[in-house]
């Protein structure tokens, strides 16, 4: 379906949820995948699953909010697989509450994981791609960034920042034949969404009734997002850059 033979990919937050599906499908199509996840345990579990299925995958415990941790992870990828061809910025986190109930510490945590994490990885990886005059950077934002989402004010802002940053990087890196694109998932069945439903009445009320308002009448599956990532990562998408794609069953159409 896709041809990633010999390509080296980093997937942040690849231990579970959407990142796990991205890692699994990239590897099944021939990519050598490094899972960079804060949780070493689930990253290793996922890497073992992928390797047992015949893929090539390593797990590297990484905190994307910390540039030193990200640089160490990239060094390890270089030693194991070589320079990076595909970077997937997937790591993210949220907790649903109205903005009036948030605190500055919460703002920092959300911005660090969801936005600064992307700055750190792009900063650490882009020279590989500039050197070979080819590369693919795909970041997972959210439809919350495009249309807003009650209970996710700071998260929506951080995810919006990913879009603006990516468009600028698409311009700056175009001369090196590096494409930079963004995918905005709608509500997708993952461990994070289960936690959001359980953690607050607001989360359970909003996310519990999503299927009724999604035109395709179901929540997204991690694989729905992963196939869109694979498209942007493919050679065939080489003339597409600075774009934002919603994968949401039609929930948003603007
Ligand atoms: N599930 C949805 O409905 C949905 C909708 C829109 C956008 N998204 C976005 O998709 C991405 C994946 O979400 P998911 O639902 O699969 O979440 P998830 O919590 O199930 O998986 C996220 C992974 O990121 C890792 N992670 C968290 N903080 C990290 C850090 N500092 N450094 C490295 N890894 C870290 C976690 O350990 C976890 O393995 C996120 O960016 C999320 O914001 C999800």
Helix (H/G/I), strand (E/B), else coil: 89: strand
- Closest atom of ligand 1 to 39 CA is 37
pLDDT, average across residues 102-114: 98
Distance 59 CA to ligand 1 centre (A): 16
- pLDDT, mean over the chain: 97
pLDDT value for 188: 98
In the numeric block, which tokens belong to residue 98? Answer: 């109205």
Q: Is residue 196 part of a domain?
A: no
Domain presence at residue 195: no
Q: Which of 179, 64, 42 is nearest to 112 (CA)?
A: 64
* 113 ligand 1 Cβ < 6 A: yes
Q: Would the CB of 187 count as within 6 Å of ligand 1?
A: yes
Express each pLDDT in 48-61 by its tens digit: 999 999 999 999 99
- Asked, for residue 229, whether it belongs to a domain, the answer is yes
What's the pLDDT tens digit per position in 190-216? 999 999 999 999 999 999 989 999 999
Give the span between the Cα atoms of 73 and 62, in whole angstroms.
Answer: 7
| Rounded Cα–Cα distance for residues 162 and 89 (Å) | 10
Residue 254's pLDDT is what?
87
Distance between Cα 135 and ligand 1 center (Å)? 23
CA 243, 248, 253, 254: dihedral to nearest 10 degrees? -40
Return the pLDDT at 98: 97
For the segment 178-193, the average pLDDT, to the nearest whole number, is: 98
**For residue 102, what is the DSSP state?**
-
Q: How far apart are CA 252 and CA 189, in angstroms?
A: 17
In a domain, 252, yes or no: no
Residue ranges of E strands in 164-219: 178-185
Q: Using pLDDT thresholds of 50, 70 and 90, give the confidence band for residue 70.
A: very high
Q: What is the pLDDT of residue 93?
A: 98
User: pLDDT, tens digit, for every residue of 160-179?
Assistant: 999 999 999 999 999 999 99
Domain extent for 20: 8-187+222-242
Name every residue whose Cβ is closer than 8 Å to that of residue 161 and which is 6 or more positions away in sequence.
Answer: 111, 115
Residue 223 has pLDDT above 90, yes or no: yes
- Please work out whether the CB of residue 157 comes within 6 Å of at least one atom of ligand 1: no
Inside any domain, residue 181: yes
Within-domain flag for 114: yes
In a domain, 203, yes or no: no
Domain count across the chain: 1
Strands 32-37 and 244-247: unpaired
Q: Check if 115 is active-site.
A: no
112 CA closest ligand 1 atom index: 31
Tens digits of per-residue pLDDT, 125-151? 999 999 999 999 999 999 999 999 999
106 in a structural domain: yes
Q: Is 202 helix (H, G, I), strand (E, B) or coil?
A: helix
pTM of the model: 0.98
Cα 179 to ligand 1 centroid, rounded to whole Å = 22
Q: What is the CATH number of the domain that holds 101?
A: 3.40.50.720
**CA 175 to ligand 1 centroid distance, Å:** 31
């Amino acid at each position: 379906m896709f041809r990633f033979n010999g390509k080296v990919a980093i997937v942040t937050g690849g231990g579970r949820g959407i990142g796990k599906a991205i890692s699994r499908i990239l590897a099944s199509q021939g990519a050598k995948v490094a899972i960079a996840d804060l949780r070493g345990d689930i990253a290793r579990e996922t890497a073992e699953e992928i390797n047992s299925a015949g893929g090539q995958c390593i797990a590297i415990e990484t905190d994307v909010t910390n540039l030193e941790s990200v640089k160490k992870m990239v060094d390890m990828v270089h030693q194991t697989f070589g320079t990076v061809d595909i970077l997937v910025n997937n790591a993210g986190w949220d907790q649903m509450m109205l903005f009036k109930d948030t605190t500055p510490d919460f703002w920092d945590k959300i911005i660090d994981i969801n936005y600064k994490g992307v700055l750190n990885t792009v900063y650490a990886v882009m020279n590989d791609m500039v050197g070979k005059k080819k590369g693919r950077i795909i970041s997972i934002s959210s439809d919350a960034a495009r249309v807003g989402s009650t209970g996710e004010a700071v998260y929506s802002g951080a995810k919006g920042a990913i879009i603006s940053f990516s468009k600028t990087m698409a311009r700056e890196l175009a001369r090196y034949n590096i494409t930079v694109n963004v995918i905005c998932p709608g509500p997708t069945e993952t461990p994070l969404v289960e936690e959001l439903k359980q953690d607050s009445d607001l989360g359970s009320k909003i996310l519990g009734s999503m299927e009724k308002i999604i035109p395709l009448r179901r929540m997204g599956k991690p694989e729905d997002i992963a196939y869109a990532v694979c498209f942007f990562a493919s050679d065939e998408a080489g003339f597409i850059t600075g774009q934002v794609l919603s994968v949401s069953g039609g929930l948003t159409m603007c």
